[in-house]
Amino acid sequence: MKMVDAPPAKRRGRPRSFDRESALERAMEVFWKHGFEGTSIHDLTHAMGINPPSLYAAFGDKEQLFLEAVERYQSTRGEACPYADEPTARGAIERLLRYTASEFCRPCNPRGCLMVMSATTSSTSSPRLQSALAKRRDASRERLKARIDRGLKEGELPPGTNTAALASFYATVLSGMSLQARDGATRKSLMATVDMAMRAWPETNGRESTRALRERRRTARVPA
């Protein structure tokens, strides 16, 4: 008697009928525009093209989805500027500020920075979410400090420069520009803010080094 192969067993559960990465991208845009607390499950499912059970099955809950959206934002927008490649610390910070000022005003994106908006719209959220966001902000500030520390070691800054305070200052400038952009500030006005912020850069012996001056002139010639 000829044996007939049994049909393959069906997988349990209902298969996903959506592209997870595309859905996450749309969720990121909704959070970016409205913030965590200003975004409802209905807003998310409508933008993502899925129903609530599918959202919970794929992402866990609203908080976990938000954290994934923040991670996606940082990897594709927030940290896309390769400022670490700049030969001087001053050039790196200025490049980051100018790049960010332009990004904040792009008409194809919500204005401002998702990370900054998350800080201002999640104050009453769970301790888990607040802690996760605080760690991400601290990590971004530490990256700024690391680049400034390198400049200090290479003689670009006066001995004894408080690099932690300098990193915090420029992180605050970035946050302020995000809020200004959300309120309708133009790219031109944000670039003026960058100009003023870079005047605060401490110079060795009250003067720019030849290398720093050359880099500053080169950066000024490159369109932001």
Q: Are 66 and 134 within 8 A, CB to CB?
A: no
Q: Show the tokens assigned to 108.
A: 């194809």
Where residue 35 falls among pLDDT bands split at 50, 70, 90?
Answer: confident
The pLDDT score that the predictor gives to residue 218 is 57
* CATH annotation of 82-221: 1.10.357.10
Query: Identical fold at 20-72 and 82-221?
Result: no
Summarised one tens digit per residue, pLDDT across range 76-111 is: 876 666 677 889 999 999 999 999 999 899 888 888
What φ, ψ does residue 123 adopt, rounded to 5°? Answer: -65, -25
Domain boundaries, the chain: 20-72, 82-221
The pLDDT score that the predictor gives to residue 98 is 94
* CATH annotation of 20-72: 1.10.10.60
Mean predicted lDDT score pLDDT of the chain: 83
- Is this prediction's pTM over 0.85? no
